[in-house]
Amino acid sequence: MPRLCLILFGSPGSGKGTQAKLLKESLGIAHISTGDMLRERVTSGDEIGRSVASLMQAGELVPDETVNRLVEERIDQPDCINGFILDGYPRTVQQAQLLAELLVLRPIRTIVVHLVVDYNVIIARISGRRQCPVCGSVYGINSIAPNTVGVCDKDGAKLLVRDDDREEVVRERLRSYEQQTSPVLAYFKKSGIPCWDVPAAGVAPQVIAKGIEALVRKERGEAA
């Protein structure tokens, strides 16, 4: 069976990270989040981290060359042997073009899943989002709430609002999504990559993940 590249596509707050964590387990493939990789660099304070910190804080996209380089190195790591989920990448047509070049050199089956969520639901979700600074687990104050308010279930750390989840930054992130990222979907469709629109609100994340898993298995020619 060829390796799988599952591109989870959707605006900030559409649930890409949550779905990626569920699908990583059920499909047995790696989860690659460019946002998480960049945040790790910012925390470590290395050269890349220092160069992207202010852009990320403003909700703007970091340069294509920076993320392209991170992804190119990451997809050849041993845990990507059966495939990987891309969460938050590609976000510009230039990134999508580089990805297409990388994938052409490798026998990989690519599938795009577009998580479709209403704008008002997105705003409500992001403003209620809290993250564990230690293990990265994400909670919502209205859904997927932790057992104790403000405390991570896994390690007891105090949950934080991500810097770029502040309301004015969220608006900027949604604006850059509309401007730079939406055209990527058109690019995928034009390139003949299978693209599926999946409604991603109103039911439990586990139910959405089951639906995506069934789609992926069908696309790969596996029995459901």
Q: Which of 3, 162, 166, 217 is catalytic?
A: 162
217 is catalytic: no
At 154, the amino acid letter reads K
The label of the residue with tokens 């795009």 reads: 112
Name the nearest CA neighbour of 81 among 30, 47, 126: 30
Catalytic residue of the set 16, 21, 39, 109: 16
The residue whose Cβ lies closest to ligand AMP is 35
The dihedral of CA 96, 184, 20, 63: what is its sign?
A: positive
Residue among 24, 41, 91, 109 that touches ligand AMP (CB under 6 A): 91
| Beta strands 195-199 and 83-87, pairing class | unpaired
74 as an active site residue: the answer is no
Nearer residue to ligand AMP within complex by CB, 51 or 217: 51
Site string for ligand AMP, 16-55 (x = CB under 6 A): ------------------xx--x----------------x
Hey, which residues does 202 pair with through a beta bridge? Answer: none
Of positions 22, 56, 96, 113, contacts ligand AMP by CB under 6 A: 56
Region near ligand AMP per CB under 6 A, out of 19-27, 85-93, 122-130, 191-199: 85-93
CB atoms within 10 A of CB 119: 11
What is the C-alpha to C-alpha distance for residues 152 and 142, in angstroms, rounded to an integer? 15
> Which among 4, 17, 10 has a CA at the least distance from the CA of 162?
17
Among 5, 9, 29, 89, binds ligand AMP (CB under 6 A): 89
Query: Is 91 marked active-site?
Result: yes
Instruction: Name the residue with tokens 């139910």.
Output: 207
Q: Say whether 194 sits in a helix, a strand or coil.
A: coil
User: Scanning residues 100 to 159, which ones bind ligand AMP (CB under 6 A)?
Assistant: none
Instruction: Tell me whether residue 106 is one of the annotated catalytic residues.
Output: no
Query: Whose Cβ is closer to ligand AMP: residue 73's or residue 222's?
Result: 73
Q: Is 41 a catalytic residue?
A: no
Q: What stretches of the chain adopt beta strand conformation (E)?
A: 3-9, 30-33, 83-87, 108-116, 129-131, 138-140, 195-199
Among 91, 109, 125, 130, the active-site one is: 91
The size of the interface with ligand AMP (CB under 6 A), counted in residues, is: 17
Supply the residues annotated as catalytic: 16, 91, 129, 162, 173
Binding-site ranges for ligand AMP (CB under 6 A): 12, 34-35, 38, 55-56, 59-62, 67, 88-89, 91, 95, 164, 173
